Amino acid sequence: MVYFLGTGFDYFNMLFNWHNTNEKWSIMDKDLNAKSIAGVDPKTFTSDKQRDLLAYWLKIKGDLLMPCRKDLCPTDIPHLLSVIWMADVIMEDEPRFKVRLFGTELVRAFQLEGTSKELDEVSFTGDIIKRMTNLVKTKQPYYHECEFPIESEDYKYYSTLTLPMSSDNENVDIIISALDFYR
């Protein structure tokens, strides 16, 4: 499921078709083939760390559209660093993404050190790239739950809270995500 956060109903009504799934009203994002809603209660996140990252992002964002990387202080969020990854947005015809930070819990779960890799170098990142490209275009954070993308005895699912950052408050140039892995 992909939940876009903080976006107005009218915007989604224009972009998506309404349908009823599991007795809950939701909207279908045709491009991402995932359930989306105009807002989501952070209580539904699978991780307290995701809730903490959202609260911190909102705090450093203030009245801006997106916070700037220089406003993020790792010493403010040391308990989150192991589940966070950050990617630089490289603007070309279509944005590309280069990982600048890949937390230790992510290294362990994905069995890969992602730091300094471009996402298109990693086999299972196609859908991630699509969602992040959409985030760059819409400047809207999202929350997503799905099956774990590689074979694992430890995890069957994961969720991600993915948030935009900007050095000019207009263009997304860094993306930060907090992941949670579960069975």
Domain ranges of the chain: 2-182
- pLDDT at res. 7: 39
Could you say which DSSP state residue 76 is in? G
Q: What is the pLDDT of residue 41?
A: 85
- The predicted pLDDT at position 29 comes to 41
Q: Which residues contact 114 (CB under 8 A, 6 or more apart)?
A: 85, 99, 102, 106, 107, 122
pLDDT computed for residue 150 by the predictor: 87
Q: pTM for this one?
A: 0.80
Give the pLDDT confidence score for residue 125 in this predicted structure: 87
Per-residue pLDDT band for 4 (boundaries 50, 70, 90) equals low
In the chain, pLDDT over 90 holds for what percent of residues? 70
The CATH class, in words, for 2-182 is: alpha beta
